[in-house]
Amino acid sequence: MLSPETDAGTAKPAAAWSTSVGLGGGVLRSIHIGELPLEAGGALPSVTMAFECWGTLNEAGDNAVLIQHALTGSTHVSRGDSEEDGWWEGLVGPGEVIDTDKFFVVCANMLGGCYGTTGPSSVAADGRPYGSRFPFVTIRDSVEAEARLADRLGISSWYAVIGGSMGGARALEWAASHPDRVRRCAVVASCAASTAEQIAFAQAQVLAIRQDPNFAGGDYYDGAPPTLGLGLARRIAHITYRSEEEMGGRFGRDAQDGATISHGRLEAPGDSRYKVESYLDHQAHKLVGRFDANSYIAITEALMSHDVARGRGTLEEALAETAGVEFVVAAVNSDRLYFPAQSEELAAALPGQVPVARIDSPIGHDGFLTEVAAVGGLLKESFFRD
């Protein structure tokens, strides 16, 4: 891994950089980008951006693709040289839709995250984790940090920036903030601005964590973390990620032990679980084991703040500068967190005629993750036809 110290200098020529360090795909790396001014005022004094990459940046530095992860996503889009499948496995690799024999693919951990980029669990200048001292950051702040990472990597403009859900918000913000550095932009299962309902569900999640006594105002790193609160936040979120039909079809009213729920619940009150409860327990447990609660709050609040038009006039005005960007906007037909109508609203506000592609999935919002073949097909017929 590149250490912050060795990499804190000026950007190196791209091809030389990527060649010189012999990048293996799918392995976490990090680069120090220095002080980052924040949209809310103030600055983060010393920011490290963590990322993974696959393939090789060409001499012209024009074959780079940025893939943006979702709320609790990591940088691990694809297995690469690692032992672990990525969250969009099969989309990125030699001969795949995003062909790493041709493209240099990057996925950076969002600012405030817990997968290597500076976040609340990072050590501040005084040697202690930021905790409650970590400032409010926005989607726009993360894009600025990612732009500095791109500078360091020698990427002057992206062949494409691609993201789903919060990753879509980040992709869109890239196009609006740096239209000269984004040639293609795919916004999947996302929107131009977080809605009242999305803010409402997000508030419940943030409160679930903050109300956990272990949270200790955010300064819990010396003690037990707020796992119950984070688990509840995940349960709330996960319900919104799935459709009613999907949960009904998979679990119905069945009890975990195979009994009818009446008997299950009635014979052992408090012990017996509906299958859907056990499933949500499992989802909560998995997240708690891999995610920091403060990062969950930081990124959730950043997503609550998402509004590509903030300070830029109307939505159409905010997007007017993106006329040179080729867009793909896609929605999951059964999504009830980022409704297809929000994709339609975004597409209608973009310059030119941008149709909304539909990803058919009964699963709900998470279709952007599970329907890799559909997402791949969409990207292949648009950005990656060759």
Q: Which residues are annotated as a binding site?
A: 234, 366
CA distance 230 to 220: 13
Nearer to its own copies among residue 122 and residue 138 (C-beta): 138
213 binding its own copies? (CB under 8 A) = yes
Closest approach, Cβ 136 to its own copies, in A, equals: 4
- Provide φ and ψ at 134, rounded to 5°: -65, 130
Nearer to its own copies among residue 71 and residue 191 (C-beta): 191
Q: Which among 18, 30, 74, 165 is annotated as catalytic?
A: 165
Contact (Cβ atoms closer than 8 angstroms) between residue 179 and residue 143: no
Which of 22, 95, 223, 270 binds its own copies (CB under 8 A)? It is 270
User: Per-residue x/- marks for its own copies, 248-267, CB under 8 A?
Assistant: x-xxxx------xxx--xxx
CA distance 386 to 382: 10
Place of tokens 């969002």: 110
Binding residues for substrate: 234, 366
277 binding its own copies? (CB under 8 A) = yes
Which of 53, 66, 171, 276 binds its own copies (CB under 8 A)? It is 276
Q: Is 356 helix (H, G, I), strand (E, B) or coil?
A: strand
Closest approach, Cβ 89 to its own copies, in A, equals: 27
Name the token pair of 158: 């992206």
Specify whether 365 is catalytic.
yes
Q: Beta partners for 357?
A: 330
Q: Beta partners for 105?
A: 54, 65
**DSSP string for residues in 218-264:** G--TTS---HHHHHHHHHHHHHHHS-HHHHHHHTTT-BTTSS-HHHH
Specify whether 76 is catalytic.
no
Give the full edge-to-edge strand order of the sheet including 104-108: 29-37, 43-54, 104-108, 64-68, 160-164, 184-188, 326-332, 356-359
Specify whether 165 is catalytic.
yes
Nearer to its own copies among residue 75 and residue 205 (C-beta): 205
Closest approach, Cβ 316 to its own copies, in A, equals: 17
Q: Is 275 helix (H, G, I), strand (E, B) or coil?
A: helix
User: Per-residue x/- marks for its own copies, 291-330, CB under 8 A?
Assistant: ----------x--xx-x--xx-------------------
Which of 69, 178, 184, 235 binds its own copies (CB under 8 A)? It is 235
Q: Which among 69, 76, 238, 365 is annotated as catalytic?
A: 365
Name the token pair of 333: 């037909």
199 binding its own copies? (CB under 8 A) = yes
Nearest to 361 by CA among 341, 337, 332, 339: 332
Which of 19, 211, 314, 333 binds its own copies (CB under 8 A)? It is 211
Nearer to its own copies among residue 52 and residue 246 (C-beta): 246
What is the helix (H) or strand (E) element at residue 36, kind and residue range? strand 29-37
Q: What is the phi-psi region of residue 350: left when phi exceeds 0, alpha when psi lies from -120 to 50, beta otherwise? A: beta
Contact (Cβ atoms closer than 8 angstroms) between residue 292 and residue 299: no
Number of residues counted as binding its own copies (CB under 8 A) = 55
Site for its own copies in 133-172 (CB under 8 A): 135-136, 138
Active centre residues (catalytic): 165, 335, 365
Binding site for its own copies (CB under 8 A): 39-41, 135-136, 138, 193-197, 199-201, 203-204, 207-208, 211-213, 228-229, 232, 235-236, 239, 244, 247-248, 250-253, 260-262, 265-267, 269-270, 274-277, 280, 301, 304-305, 307, 310-311, 336, 339
